[in-house]
Structure 1
Amino acid sequence: MILRPFLHADPVAISYLFGCGGKASAAVVDPLGDVKPYLAAADATGMKILYVVDTHLHADHLSAGRRLADAAGAEYAMFAGADASVPFRGVHHGDVLPLGNVTAEVLHTPGHTPEHLCLLVTDHTRAEEPWFVLTGHTLMVGDVGRTELASAADEGARILFKSLQRLKALPDYVEVLPGAYSGSVCGRRLSGKPASTVGFERRHNAAFRIDDEAAFVRLMLEDIPAPPPQAARLRGINAGLLAA
């Protein structure tokens, strides 16, 4: 397994390159900004980027997903239900992206946005059990994703509560690699630590540990911060529905 996180400060976000070094097969998740660092990281590790995945249509920054996929000769993937006009491979819940000895299973986790997905990653040279989950803005360290950027806040919260059950069903040891950390506008109580585990978040994440839907919705409706600047416009651009 090769894993390279890219921590961005403006905007605050995390992108990832991961895959199988032995089979020279990689994927990049949630890229933004200049595509050259991702191409350079793949080249340095001897891997070819086969897939570029956006976990969702972002509302806080412009995605580099389509540009990177074109530059790398890779498939650009989002959840099949994404309301987007840019060319992309639509993936469904349960689909598996093969990367040599590594696989990434698609988990549909709507709530932050309707099309949100997570990727459950297994390195089959180590074990047949999953190693980590790339959670985008569904589950982050210390919080979960806000729910009013693409739907009504209460409706999004009810949907997110159900999605989080899929992540709660994972073993405690599975690592949580989110798409944001402290300073991001997509969460309220985010930690500056960019990674965690399902078990730690289950015990210490105020939103993730709630097992009652009504209590979860009440928490999600408290102290909703101002939306990211031009959130609707950014989602529209990332979907190809608006000009940049």
Structure 2
Amino acid sequence: MLFRQYLHTNPVAASYFFGCGSQSQGVVVDPLEDQVDFYVKEAQDLGMNIVYVIDTHIHADHVSGARKLAEKTGAKYVLHSSADTSYDFTSVEDGDELLAGNTLLKFLHTPGHTPEHISIVVSDKRRADEPWFVLTGHTLMVGDAGRTELAVSVEEGAKDLYQSIQKITQLEDHIELFPGAFSGSVCGRGLSGKPSSTVGFEKRHNEALTFDNEKEFVGFMTSNVPPQPEGFKERRKTNQGK
């Protein structure tokens, strides 16, 4: 399997390029608009064809480059079926799977940060059927969970997020965890500058995972909420095509 993590600083965000090198089928997740040509060049340099472009959610902190990248490469643009957009996309539901060569993607619907949020559990079938890593977007990050009030009320989002986190923490402890943001992002609070972890390490050391019930978790997520990013409503609408 080929795997690349790209750490962006303006805005602070992480995007990903991974897939099956032997069959030259690649996947790009959460691309930024001003980096579209970069992903195209990466694909050319790596000898890969981009077959899927995925947004884990409708972003509010930056303008997505996913639709533009999909148009340039002929890839399918993937979102959860509940995404409220003015354009067509390839929809996935909780539990759906897609193949990119020998790379298997299983989608988990993980609302909370936004209602349409998905996480992606990835397996390299040339090595094993079991998952290798999970891309968690802004659901669970290294050191915290994603803020919950950029698309719905903070309480509603926090309740959904509590249930979503249970799906991720049911994965095996050794599975690597790659989030959509890291320290400096407006979408979390105590985020680590280390942009990857494991499910097991976060279960042991992430404060957001220390609560045994929904009420306590919601109390944690609705306190000390950082200021909302300027222009987030407009960026979300732009990414919805509205």
Q: Is the counterpart of residue 9 in structure 1 residue 9 in structure 2? A: yes
Instruction: Count the aligned residue pairs.
Output: 241
Give the letter aligned to residue 122 of structure 1: S
Match of 1:230 in 2: 231
Match of 1:154 in 2: 155
For 1:210 and 1:102, locate their aligned partners in 2 and report how far apart those are by CA, in whole Å. 34
Match of 1:166 in 2: 167
Answer whether contact 1:201 1:209 (CA < 8 A) is retained: no
CA-CA distance at 1:36 after TM superposition: 1.3
**CA deviation string 1:21-78 (max 9, x = no partner):** 0011111000002211111111122110000000000000000000000011100110
Answer whether contact 1:52 1:68 (CA < 8 A) is retained: yes
The alignment partner of 2:84 has SS state of: coil
- Quick check: 11-20 or 221-230, which moved more? 221-230
User: 1:71-220 counterparts in 2 under 5 A?
Assistant: 71-220=72-221
**CA deviation string 1:208-239 (max 9, x = no partner):** 23221111001001111111111111100000
For 1:56 and 1:221, locate their aligned partners in 2 and report how far apart those are by CA, in whole Å. 21
Give the letter aligned to residue 76 of structure 1: Y
For 1:85 and 1:208, locate their aligned partners in 2 and report how far apart those are by CA, in whole Å. 36
- Quick check: 111-120 or 223-232, which moved more? 223-232
**CA deviation string 1:60-110 (max 9, x = no partner):** 000000000001110011001000112211111111110111111111000
Aligned-residue CA RMSD (Å):
0.7
- Quick check: 86-95 or 181-190, which moved more? 86-95
For 1:130 and 1:51, locate their aligned partners in 2 and report how far apart those are by CA, in whole Å. 19
Match of 1:27 in 2: 27
TM-score using structure 2 length: 0.98
Match of 2:66 in 1: 65
The alignment partner of 2:208 has SS state of: coil
Give the letter aligned to residue 21 of structure 1: G
Gaps of 5+ in 2: none
TM-score using structure 1 length: 0.97
Answer whether contact 1:182 1:192 (CA < 8 A) is retained: yes
**CA deviation string 1:152-207 (max 9, x = no partner):** 11111011000111001000000000000000000000000000000000000000
Gaps of 5+ in 1: none
Answer whether contact 1:51 1:74 (CA < 8 A) is retained: yes
Identity over the aligned pairs, expressed in percent?
54
For 1:73 and 1:100, locate their aligned partners in 2 and report how far apart those are by CA, in whole Å. 16
Give the letter aligned to residue 196 of structure 2: A
For 1:45 and 1:127, locate their aligned partners in 2 and report how far apart those are by CA, in whole Å. 23
For 1:104 and 1:175, locate their aligned partners in 2 and report how far apart those are by CA, in whole Å. 14
